[in-house]
Amino acid sequence: MTSSTTRRALLGATAASAVLAAAGAAGAGTAAAGTARAGQPAGPDIGVLLYDGFSLLDPTGPAEVLSRLPGARVTMIAERRGPVRTDTGDVALLAERSIHEVDRLDVLLVPGAGNRGTVAAMGNRALLGWIRRIHRHSRWTTSVCTGSLVLAAAGLLDGREATTYWASADYLQSEFDVTYRPERYVRSGRIVTAAGVSAGIDMALYLASLIAGDTVAKGVQLAVEYDPRPPFDAGDAADADAALKELALRLLAESQV
């Protein structure tokens, strides 16, 4: 490989150009990727809310997908700028903006967390108030895993259908005016909720199709090579026995700080 070899050449200039061309061919309506806004680059302005104790894949899986949309800008946002640690305490993501610096987004994504993080976020008036303000003008407001509990605490899921982490389903329905649906993702108006952790990737691809059309969404799926074939058929709580559910929850609890 010579020094003149570029990353574009390595990945294939023709394929990359095809994805960008497909974006230009996407219909009007909901296919808004590439649309310039005053003072903003073309494409959707996507904000991912971080808060202490979030689960790592909840924001990063969707961010990987959505950041590949033509012209998209993905920003990590928290109550304060700086590193925000996950539920295990082993990893931190950097929040580049504080909630006080952001008042408009095309897409808001609220990730889930362990019990400690979720409960704290549900009781954080500053975060809930900011979520409500952003939702007033967002094109799409989304959540992953127990992030739907945070949306519910903000009053955004009243009277709606939604999904969440399987172990939180009863709580979502009993504590809020929400109808739980055991799906990978659920759309209710301009709110899209995803089930636990990895389901955020599925939700993000669906959201990509709403924003930029099916062709671009398929291109993004291939670009990130999302073709899951797990070695075990154990990811659906509806098919799991009580012992496996107990083990799953114990593994989560023991890995969190």
145 is catalytic: yes
Closest CA to 143 of 114, 171, 176, 113: 113
CB 66 within 8 A of CB 205: no
- Cα 78 to the center of its chain, rounded Å: 15
- Catalytic: which of 145, 169, 172, 186? 145
Q: How do strand 82-85 and strand 92-95 relate by DSSP bridges?
A: antiparallel
Q: Element (H or E) spanning 196, and its range?
A: none
> Which residues partner with 142 through β-bridges?
109, 192
Q: CA triplet 209, 106, 52: central angle to 5 degrees?
A: 100
Q: What are the Cα distances from residue 206, in Å, to 17, 106, 194?
A: 22, 16, 10
Q: DSSP states of 59-109 as a string? A: HHHHHHHHTTSTT-EEEEEESSSEEEEBTTSS-EEEE-EEGGG----SEEE
Tokens linked to 92: 């931190």
Tokens of 49: 């809310």
Q: Count Cβ atoms below 10 Å from residue 167 Cβ, excluding itself.
A: 15
* Cα–Cα distance, 110 to 50 (Å, whole number): 7
Determine the Cα–Cα distance for residues 95 and 82; give it in Å rounded to an integer: 5
Q: Which residues are the active-site residues?
A: 145
